[in-house]
């Protein structure tokens, strides 16, 4: 018993250490540090553009008391809440622009403050997902301490927790500001809640109030939790209505109590945030470069039932093994270990699910029914085009279910092999869990340092600021969804004027482009990106975006041939922000190009009012210390 406790403590300690060590070192992505930029720099533009625009739209289409109530809520948020409860206001702003649930950002608001250094922004902004990721592991331990896993089943805990703790996808998203690591917490919490409630002989009023309250709160932590609730209620209905033979009226009363709380929470969530996604789908880059993770109907003309069934089975056979492996994998894709896991992990997950469903123990069978219903929900959503079955962060919420299924499959297989050899099956399963947990931990720790080295953030605020000063650069343009320099405090002092499309109103190709500039004419310009090298075509597009904001005397030529390259630094990387390289969503590259004008700028297009000039900070305006003009 003691050695199991020590090993569990070691797993959790190592899991926390590798995550915390990467908080300020892991490279950034627009979906990551965009949260910090929205919180720190976009409050006024949010009020003036996004909120005012949607309030006007609501007023124009208001048809009854409910619509007028929504308008009142938004005005309340923008005024009283913004003044007296800043964390609520910040969470509302972030979740209104990004696609993330708001709860996590209550803590983010308390940690991120203006004037922090770039590294402090990364550390503090990523601290909430780190904490919630660790809490998710703690809740998985709690899950294993409830019901049938106590006593003889305790060794299974080590393998299940190790698989969840050292999933590389889980480790990565504990180091990103978006709210995906908290999804692991939500699933672990629901699984622990399910086991706790399933141990009761009947649904009491207090227990069902707790169920509805917890489910409602978890929806505000991760929107995907909503799709876990029907499977949860289905599993509980089986446990009490079928296995325990609870009277129908008593069962219905309990579900009405918890269901009412869930409906109230969902109504608040929908009318505040989710209304934006009505009719939308979660299918975009996560479908894969060739759409391989998105379901497409049969290609034959006039397909029959058999054609549809064969097409669905083919799609699931191609996607589910990849999803399972890449969510659980503790080894990089390019290694021999991954090739073994690609076969082993899907088999263990399937075996574990089958064993749970066939178990004579009601709580285990209930858990198996929950897992089966979750799979059914995810597959249904994929088949109707709402989600993909891809190996991306959008599948990370399934990790606790996958880890528990795989661990259970492993101990069932070990027990079966032991019995075939005439040995004690329980002893073999206990040893398999212990050895499996140790192997997962050792293999991850042996390979993660090299993987983390490929994920080190290449942006160095002091170096970039010194380079631009030394080269006498007048303006810096960010492209390819690159937000890093906007969080460099010293750089923003030297370049006090900021130009950026009003992305709360304008969804044009200029969105996520920006310019930092000094007062005066622009004779030299630098362009920086974390994912794309500069080309003549890209330069022209980005220059035209910026010229919509610049006054006539300060506009820049959009002809690449009018410039000479005076400095170029390219550090390409194939390392995607996701664990898997099977989808493309932004890499860990670094591309800096400095251009100097050869001729006088031509007359350029008129200014677009949808782009704004922001007095970023009054300090540091004027010529940079040691500035020298570039003469060619």
> Tens digits of per-residue pLDDT, 360-405?
999 999 999 999 999 999 999 999 999 999 999 999 999 999 999 9
- One domain for residues 35 and 102: yes
Give residue 427's pLDDT: 86
Cβ-contact 222, 182 below 8 angstroms = yes
Please write down the long-range contacts of 249-258, taking CB distance under 8 Å and 24 or more positions apart. 250/202, 250/203, 251/203, 253/203, 254/202, 254/203, 254/204, 254/205, 254/207, 254/208, 255/203, 255/208, 257/205, 257/208, 257/209, 257/212, 258/208, 258/209, 258/211, 258/212, 258/215, 258/233
| Burial of residue 461 (number of CB atoms within 10 Å: 0-12, 13-18, 19+) | middle
Confidence of residue 64 (pLDDT cuts 50, 70, 90): low
SS3 of the chain: helix, strand, coil, percent, to 5: 60, 5, 30
Look up residue 554 and give its two tokens.
Answer: 């300060």
- One domain for residues 46 and 101: yes
Q: Which of 395, 424, 454 lies at the terminal end of a domain, its last residue?
A: 454
Cβ-contact 149, 157 below 8 angstroms = yes
- One domain for residues 413 and 559: no
- One domain for residues 485 and 555: yes
- One domain for residues 445 and 466: no
pLDDT higher than threshold 80 for residue 80: no
Q: Lowest-pLDDT range, 60-69, 440-449, 548-557?
A: 60-69
Is the residue at 602 inside a domain?
Answer: no
Is the residue at 442 inside a domain?
Answer: yes
pLDDT higher than threshold 50 for residue 601: no
Is the residue at 606 inside a domain?
Answer: no
Element (H, E) at 568: strand 563-571
Is the residue at 619 inside a domain?
Answer: no
Is the residue at 439 inside a domain?
Answer: yes
pLDDT higher than threshold 90 for residue 578: yes
pLDDT higher than threshold 70 for residue 408: yes
Give residue 242's pLDDT: 86
Task: List the strands of the sheet with 611-615, edge to edge.
Answer: 563-571, 590-597, 524-529, 475-478, 514-517, 497-501, 611-615
Other beta carbons less than 10 A from residue 578's beta carbon: 24
What proportion of the chain, given as a percentage, has pLDDT over 70? 86
β strands within 487-530, DSSP E: 497-501, 514-517, 524-529
pLDDT higher than threshold 90 for residue 136: yes
- One domain for residues 406 and 318: yes
Task: Decide which of 412 and 512 is more confident.
Answer: 412
pLDDT higher than threshold 70 for residue 543: yes
CA–CA gap between residue 8 and residue 2 (Å, rounded): 10
384 three-class SS: coil
- One domain for residues 229 and 185: yes
CA–CA gap between residue 439 and residue 430 (Å, rounded): 14
Work out the average pLDDT over 44-68.
64
- One domain for residues 428 and 482: no
Q: Sign of dihedral through CA atoms 355, 357, 363, 369?
A: positive
Domain ranges, residue 140 = 1-274+285-454
Confidence of residue 57 (pLDDT cuts 50, 70, 90): low
Is the residue at 621 inside a domain?
Answer: no
Listed in sequence order, the residues at least 6 apart from 208 whose beta carbon sits closer than 8 Å to its beta carbon are 254, 255, 257, 258
Render pLDDT for 414-424 as a digit per residue (tens, 0 to 9). Answer: 999 998 888 88
**For strand 524-529 and strand 475-478, is the pairing parallel, antiparallel, or unpaired?**
parallel
Look up residue 404 and give its two tokens.
Answer: 């528990």
Cβ-contact 620, 561 below 8 angstroms = no
Q: Which of 454, 469, 492 lies at the terminal end of a domain, its last residue?
A: 454
Is the residue at 366 inside a domain?
Answer: yes
- One domain for residues 393 and 268: yes
According to DSSP, the residues that pair with 524 across neighbouring strands are: 596
Work out the average pLDDT over 170-179.
97
- One domain for residues 572 and 442: no
Look up residue 125 and give its two tokens.
Answer: 């902004």
Other beta carbons less than 10 A from residue 168's beta carbon: 23
Give residue 74's pLDDT: 67
What pTM did the predictor assign? 0.90
- One domain for residues 547 and 428: no
Say how many domains are in the chain: 2
Cβ-contact 400, 142 below 8 angstroms = no
CA–CA gap between residue 366 and residue 99 (Å, rounded): 32
CA–CA gap between residue 442 and residue 440 (Å, rounded): 6
pLDDT higher than threshold 70 for residue 66: no
Render pLDDT for 206-217 as a digit per residue (tens, 0 to 9). Answer: 999 999 999 999
Look up residue 369 and give its two tokens.
Answer: 């029914």
Is the residue at 246 inside a domain?
Answer: yes
Round the average pLDDT of the chain to a whole number and report it. 87
- One domain for residues 397 and 515: no
């Amino acid at each position: 018993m003691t050695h199991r406790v020590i090993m569990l403590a070691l797993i959790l300690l190592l899991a926390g250490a590798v995550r915390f060590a990467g908080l300020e070192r892991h490279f950034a992505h627009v979906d990551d540090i965009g949260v910090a930029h929205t919180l720190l720099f976009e409050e006024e533009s949010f009020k003036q553009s996004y909120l005012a625009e949607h309030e006007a739209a609501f007023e124009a289409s208001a048809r009854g008391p409910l619509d007028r109530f929504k308008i009142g809520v938004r005005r309340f948020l923008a005024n009283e809440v913004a003044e007296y409860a800043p964390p609520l206001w910040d969470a509302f702003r972030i979740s209104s622009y990004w696609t993330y649930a708001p709860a996590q950002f209550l803590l983010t608001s308390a940690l991120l403050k203006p004037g922090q250094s770039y590294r402090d922004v990364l550390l503090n902004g990523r601290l909430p997902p780190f904490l919630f990721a660790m809490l998710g592991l703690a809740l998985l331990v709690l899950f294993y301490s409830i019901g049938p896993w106590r006593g003889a089943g305790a060794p299974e805990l080590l393998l299940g927790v190790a698989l969840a703790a050292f999933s590389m996808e889980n480790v990565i998203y504990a180091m990103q500001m978006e709210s995906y690591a908290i999804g692991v917490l939500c699933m672990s919490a629901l699984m622990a809640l399910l086991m706790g409630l399933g141990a009761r002989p009947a649904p009491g009023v207090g227990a069902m109030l707790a169920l509805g309250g917890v489910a409602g709160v978890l929806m505000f932590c991760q929107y995907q939790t909503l799709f876990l609730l029907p499977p949860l209620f289905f599993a509980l209905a089986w446990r009490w209505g079928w296995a325990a033979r609870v009277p129908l009226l008593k069962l219905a009363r309990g579900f009405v109590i918890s269901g009412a709380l869930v409906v109230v929470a969902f109504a608040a969530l929908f009318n505040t945030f989710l209304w934006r996604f009505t009719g939308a789908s979660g299918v975009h880059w996560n479908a894969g470069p060739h759409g391989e993770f998105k379901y497409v109907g049969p290609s034959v003309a006039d397909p029959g039932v058999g054609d549809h069934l064969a097409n669905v089975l083919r799609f699931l056979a191609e996607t589910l093994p990849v999803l399972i492996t890449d969510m659980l994998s503790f080894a990089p894709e390019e290694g021999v270990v991954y090739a073994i896991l690609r076969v082993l992990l899907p088999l263990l997950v399937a075996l574990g699910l089958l064993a749970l469903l066939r178990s004579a123990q009601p709580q285990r069978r209930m858990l198996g029914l929950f897992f089966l219903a979750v799979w059914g929900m995810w597959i249904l959503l994929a088949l109707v085009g709402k989600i993909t079955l891809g190996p991306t962060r959008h599948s990370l919420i399934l990790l606790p279910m996958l880890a528990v299924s795989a661990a259970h499959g492993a101990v069932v297989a070990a027990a079966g092999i032991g019995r075939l050899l005439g040995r004690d099956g329980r002893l073999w399963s206990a040893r398999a869990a212990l050895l499996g947990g140790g192997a997962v931990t050792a293999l991850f720790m042996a390979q993660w340092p090299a993987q983390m080295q490929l994920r080190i953030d290449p942006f160095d605020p002091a170096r970039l600021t010194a380079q631009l000063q030394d080269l006498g650069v007048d303006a810096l343009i960010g492209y390819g969804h690159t937000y890093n320099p906007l969080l460099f405090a010293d750089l923003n002092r030297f370049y006090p004027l900021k130009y950026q499309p009003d992305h709360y109103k304008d969804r044009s190709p200029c969105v996520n482009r920006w310019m930092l500039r000094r007062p005066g004419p622009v004779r030299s310009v630098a362009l920086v990106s974390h994912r794309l090298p500069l080309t003549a075509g890209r330069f022209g597009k980005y220059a035209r975006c910026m010229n919509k904001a610049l006054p006539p005397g300060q506009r820049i030529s959009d002809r690449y041939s009018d410039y000479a390259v005076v400095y170029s630094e390219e550090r390409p990387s194939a390392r995607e922000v996701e664990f898997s390289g099977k989808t493309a969503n932004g890499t860990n590259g670094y591309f800096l190009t400095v251009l100097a004008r050869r001729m006088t700028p031509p007359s350029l297009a008129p200014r677009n009012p949808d782009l704004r000039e922001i007095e970023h900070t009054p300090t540091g305006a004027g010529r940079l210390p040691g500035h020298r003009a570039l003469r060619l």
